Amino acid sequence: MALLINGVEIEDTFAEAFKMWGTRVIITAKNRKWAWEAATKMTGFATSVIGCKCEAGIEGDVEDTLDGRPGVSVLFFTPSKDDLPKRLMERIGQTVMTCPTTACFNGLEAADKLSIGGQLRYFGDGYQGSKLVNGRRFWRIPVMEGEFLIEAKLGMQRSVGGGNFLVLGEDPDVTLEATERAVEAMKQVRGMILPFPGGIVRSGSKTRSKYKFLIASTNDAFCPTLRGCVQSELPEGVNSVLEIVIDGLNVQAVEEATRVGILAACIPGIRRITAGNYGGTLGQFKIDLHRVLGEAAPA
């Protein structure tokens, strides 16, 4: 049954999302500028596990931090439990420890723990020391600036990656405006991040290719320039498609972000909103668009 929001058709379909492992890292610094510098570097080139081995993004500012300084919350995801510490070691070691004035703390209470500070401490070459504060261990690593402080263990938990929806618009400008509005609205939802640049993807992919060396290639069914060449999924009048991909610490956060984002994206000039899936055969989570919009959707 068709669902219309502000005249925009919401297709009766679902986003297919996958199990991931996720963690939350709190980065603090002397001021907001340096906290964001570190967080931005740490989450750079972390858009998709296909090419980046991890997905990461900035969740937002943190007001009440352990050391009382300005803080930023970063969410970090990998497909496997073993990959998470490897990727975090690389990224925290190269982007947070190197960044002036920063400190790094766990932001996720979870039964599973991963040792990052406990490994990174060896950079101290024997001069590292630790402090146990209120039951939590922190490593002090001497660096040229002074000391880098990092919590010994971070919590990690089963998470959700690959939540998504596609915005089909009449032209690139209105499609970009709709997705920008969606991203702004979705930033208010905690527990999830949008790993792509500005939260928006223009080159959505399908999981096959005519080339044997590629595991993913352009999503031709949604490419306007290929409307006449392939079995297109684009309705008449659609000339641009943008996608928003969502990773969350739990499925509730992904669903809430989907709901908030779709509602914000329904502006004049948008013809349809749909979602990417593989027929429900690959992903562990089905995020049904009509269900998440529920009764909140205005007619």
Q: Which residues bind another protein (CB under 8 A)?
A: 66-69, 103, 127, 129, 131-134, 138, 140, 146-149
Q: Nearest approach, Cβ of 182 to another protein (angstroms)? A: 37
Q: Nearest approach, Cβ of 292 to another protein (angstroms)? A: 38
Residue nearer to another protein on the CB measure, 117 or 195: 117
- Enumerate long-range contacts of 199-206, CB under 8 Å, 24 or more apart: 199/57, 199/244, 200/176, 200/242, 200/243, 200/244, 201/47, 201/242, 201/243, 201/244, 201/245, 202/242, 202/243, 204/164, 204/166, 204/241, 204/243, 204/276, 205/50
Helix (H, G, I), strand (E, B) or coil at 178: helix
Q: Nearest approach, Cβ of 148 to another protein (angstroms)? A: 8
Residue nearer to another protein on the CB measure, 135 or 228: 135
Q: Nearest approach, Cβ of 140 to another protein (angstroms)? A: 6
Structure-block tokens of residue 3:
């669902």
CA–CA dist 25, 59 (Å, integer): 10
Residue nearer to another protein on the CB measure, 45 or 127: 127
Q: Nearest approach, Cβ of 37 to another protein (angstroms)? A: 17
Residue nearer to another protein on the CB measure, 1 or 132: 132
Radius of gyration of the chain (CA): 21
Identity of the amino acid at 183 = V
- Look up residue 256 and give its DSSP letter: H
Q: Nearest approach, Cβ of 68 to another protein (angstroms)? A: 5
Residue nearer to another protein on the CB measure, 105 or 222: 105
Q: Nearest approach, Cβ of 138 to another protein (angstroms)? A: 6
Residue nearer to another protein on the CB measure, 14 or 139: 139
Residue nearer to another protein on the CB measure, 67 or 184: 67
Q: Nearest approach, Cβ of 12 to another protein (angstroms)? A: 51
Strand positions, DSSP E, the chain: 3-5, 8-10, 14-28, 55-62, 71-78, 103-106, 112-115, 129-133, 136-143, 146-151, 153-169, 192-193, 205-206, 217-218, 240-248, 270-274, 285-288
Identity of the amino acid at 180 = E
In terms of Cα–Cα distance, which of 105, 120, 112 is closest to 24?
105
Residue nearer to another protein on the CB measure, 131 or 291: 131
CA–CA dist 156, 203 (Å, integer): 30
